[in-house]
Structure 1
Amino acid sequence: MTGDSAHPVADETPAAVGDEGNEKAGSDATRRGLLKAAAGATVAGAASTAGCLAVTTPADVAARNEVSGNVAHVVGPGWLADHREDVVVLDARDPDRFRRSRVYGARRAPVDALSAQDRTDGGLVPDVDAIATVLGDLGVAPDDDVVVYGASVGSRVTRVAFALAALGHAGDISVLNGGFGAWNGRVGTGSRDRVSSVDYEPDPAESAWVTREWIADRVGSFNEGGPGLVDVRVPEAYLGAPGSDALDPDHDRHGHLPGAINVHWVGNVAGRRMTDPARLVRLYEAEADLDRNAPVVVYGDENVDPTSTWLTLRAIGFEDVRLYDGGFGEWANAAGDRGRYPVETATSVVIETDGSVGGEDRGGDFSCTG
């Protein structure tokens, strides 16, 4: 049973955001002159506060999260309001939040099920059949245009987007900038709406991911004229820093894949919204020196967090971005000839990021100064 009510302020207010939205693009050009163009593709970073003495209205919050310019796969709440009847909306939050309040008509996407993996001779890959079954049960057809949202634009949301892409989804795939806290339209409550299941026939897009063996065949070539390789974990994990709490005790080895550079995925997010696109272009092209016209592979410990970087790079125009679905956990614990799966600590390139992920309930953030 669903209800229709005003957006609740107490439970789904926007978290404080970082300073990313206030950064100026500056005059520094990237090596291909793309920074200037990206500077025009901004996510609105400041809501109007005219007449506001004590509070920011829901309309202000929605305006702060609108998207303009040449940014792919990310839409604002105004766009969703205008197209709500034409898209399938998937909610990547936990069941309690979904039942409490959601975009009206949204269907809850179980992130764990949509992260399912299949073990092959080449290594772990997305389990496209299992993922297709989940989406079919949600009534998602292969040609539906889909918008995914969560509490922010964090990795749970982007994992759902990647799951769709891995199936070769024919419809458009987008995420909602600002998450549910930015939505000021019609909402629903209670248990999920009844939807008719469909038979989702996947057309796997195997170019969206790589395997352990694909990487092993290319060790020594990454970021040296070959594909780019980005480790999205915290720097301490990438460096294999002895004694660090960031090291997974279940891993046999620590460090990173040879040739990988480190760009922590949290740099993609400013509170609940996407980091300013001009800043992202500087981060990945000027600072990380990635080539938007060459393949780029991203990986983390597992297969959820790196999807944030996967989607971010696609959003700012990188043409060929792939996920190593097995992640460092598979690589570090590989059996057999470990000389084929070396781990590196001596050579390291860490690109500093300063993002922050919102999404938890935080009292006092819904204000003119928040």
Structure 2
Amino acid sequence: MTGQKPDADGDEGENATRRGLLRAAAGATVAGAASTPAVSAVTTPADVAAQNEVSGNVGHFVGPSWLADNREDAVVLDARDPERFREQRIYRARRVPFDAITARKSTDEGAVPDTDAIADAFGEIGLTPDDDVLVYGASVGSRVTRVAFALAAVGHEGAIRVLNGGLSAWNGRLGTGSRDRVSPTDYEPDPATSTWVTREWLADGVGTFNADGPGLVDVRVPEAYLAAAGSDVLNEDHDRHGHLPGAIDVHWVGNVDGRRMTDPGRLVQLYEVEGELDRSETVVVYGDDNVDPTSTWLTLKAIGFEDVRLYDGGFGEWANVQGDRGRYPVETATNVVVETDGSVGGDDGGGDFSCTG
């Protein structure tokens, strides 16, 4: 960060966002900054901003200079917990009530996003369906991507973007405290059912995934995917362990390099080359729950996959189905386990990201 004193969000002073500095940072290089021996070990805010710029054919993720240039045109949403939000945040950011945007409801087909509850939560923070939105957290972890998914699920019409590098990449104006002057809105959802699948949808496709049907990606750690005997990552609340038949395993943390997205070339290697997924075909992602797999959902969309959907019920629903287990089979045989080496900075994992995902 820059070291400037944060403002309380109710302060209407003339502390303008430092757009010029961020635009300059976007064109800088770390090598250039380190070319003077006396300061070679110093990382400046401009260096950090430059490291988190996004270039090339990447969707949804943007760097700090984009926010500097569009701050007045985008609603900024903070995905972190209330304490961190009060301590320091992007000026005039609005905190998303995270529990509400993970809400699910039961249907005859299985659990699906509760779009009414999610829309109500967005309405409470003054959002309207046509607002252009930028979401940030401590990094680009799954708390952030769950907000992006929730927006898509309720049919949000405005653009949805994520700040690469999270709060630490931003060296513009900051705010503190919990004051919020926005007025609630009546956010009417237009559920985008094409963003998710149900338990029954998956049951109908068993035997086709990653063969002659849709791609299916399990985002949990390999030990959970393989039901490794004695592993402490196995959820003791589940009746069964393993994975959905035909699923490949790519642990979601591979999408994140510290606080920013993994290099797009590496992501293409993980999913298209090693995972052999087809970007022109439907791909479904799932985890133990409905937060961490949204990282893979947004990552695949960002690198050009056309139809990516989330199983919101997750393995937690599938593994505990009562009755006809034959319709909801679980397997432990290895299909494809794609090794990942990412790491999540900050606290932007949706749960215990080092375990089940």
Q: TM-score, normalised on structure 2?
A: 0.88
Cα separation, 1, equivalents of 2:29 and 2:338: 24
Superposed, which structure 2 residues align to 1:308-323 within 5 Å?
A: 308-323=295-310
Query: Does the 8 A contact of 2:226 with 2:334 survive in 1?
Result: no
The one-letter code of the counterpart of 1:152 is S
Mean CA deviation greater in 330-339 or 184-193: 184-193
Q: Over aligned residue pairs, what C-alpha RMSD do you find?
A: 1.8
- Is 1:49 matched with 2:4? no
Q: Which of 155, 166, 188 in structure 2 is aligned with 1:168?
A: 155
Cα separation, 1, equivalents of 2:337 and 2:41: 41
User: 1:215 aligns to what?
Assistant: 202
Query: Does the 8 A contact of 1:238 with 1:255 survive in 2?
Result: yes
Q: Which of 185, 205, 209 in structure 1 is aligned with 2:172?
A: 185
- Is 1:96 matched with 2:83? yes
Cα separation, 2, equivalents of 1:186 and 1:64: 19
Query: Does the 8 A contact of 2:103 with 2:113 survive in 1?
Result: yes
Deviation at 1:192, TM superposition (A): 3.4
Deviations along 1:78-128, one digit per CA (max 9) or x if unpaired, are: 100110000000000111111111000100012221000011000000000
User: 1:140 aligns to what?
Assistant: 127
Identity %: 75
Cα separation, 2, equivalents of 1:360 and 1:208: 26
- Is 1:358 matched with 2:326? no
Cα separation, 2, equivalents of 1:200 and 1:146: 14
- Is 1:237 matched with 2:235? no
The one-letter code of the counterpart of 1:269 is V
Q: How many residues align?
A: 325
- Is 1:111 matched with 2:93? no
Cα separation, 2, equivalents of 1:216 and 1:56: 52
Deviation at 1:297, TM superposition (A): 0.1
- Is 1:66 matched with 2:53? yes
Cα separation, 2, equivalents of 1:177 and 1:99: 21
Q: Which of 329, 332, 336 in structure 1 is aligned with 2:323?
A: 336
Q: Residue 289 of structure 1: SS of its match in structure 2? A: coil
Superposed, which structure 2 residues align to 1:244-255 within 5 Å?
A: 244-255=231-242
The one-letter code of the counterpart of 2:95 is R
Deviation at 1:50, TM superposition (A): 3.5
Cα separation, 2, equivalents of 1:346 and 1:96: 43
Deviation at 1:220, TM superposition (A): 0.1
Cα separation, 2, equivalents of 1:54 and 1:223: 48
Deviation at 1:282, TM superposition (A): 1.1
The one-letter code of the counterpart of 2:336 is V
- Is 1:265 matched with 2:252? yes
* 344 and 45 in structure 1: CA distance in 2 versus 1, 3 angstrom threshold: farther
Cα separation, 2, equivalents of 1:85 and 1:150: 19
Unaligned stretches of 5+ in structure 1? 8-43, 362-370
The one-letter code of the counterpart of 1:116 is A
The one-letter code of the counterpart of 1:310 is W
The one-letter code of the counterpart of 1:353 is T
Query: Does the 8 A contact of 1:49 with 1:60 survive in 2?
Result: no
Query: Does the 8 A contact of 1:119 with 1:125 survive in 2?
Result: yes
Structure 1 residue ranges (4+ consecutive) displaced by more than 2 angstroms after TM superposition: 1-7, 44-55
Query: Does the 8 A contact of 1:107 with 1:192 survive in 2?
Result: no
Unaligned stretches of 5+ in structure 2? 1-7, 18-27, 349-357
Superposed, which structure 2 residues align to 1:149-164 within 5 Å?
A: 149-164=136-151
Cα separation, 1, equivalents of 2:92 and 2:126: 12
Q: Residue 140 of structure 1: SS of its match in structure 2? A: coil
Q: Residue 90 of structure 1: SS of its match in structure 2? A: strand
Query: Does the 8 A contact of 2:142 with 2:293 survive in 1?
Result: yes
The one-letter code of the counterpart of 2:139 is S
Query: Does the 8 A contact of 2:272 with 2:278 survive in 1?
Result: yes
Cα separation, 2, equivalents of 1:99 and 1:50: 38
User: 2:3 aligns to what?
Assistant: none
Query: Does the 8 A contact of 1:302 with 1:328 survive in 2?
Result: yes
Query: Does the 8 A contact of 2:34 with 2:41 survive in 1?
Result: no
Deviation at 1:46, TM superposition (A): 4.8
Deviation at 1:360, TM superposition (A): 5.1
- Is 1:298 matched with 2:282? no
Cα separation, 2, equivalents of 1:119 and 1:360: 29
Q: Residue 98 of structure 2: SS of its match in structure 1? A: coil
Query: Does the 8 A contact of 2:29 with 2:47 survive in 1?
Result: no
The one-letter code of the counterpart of 2:258 is G
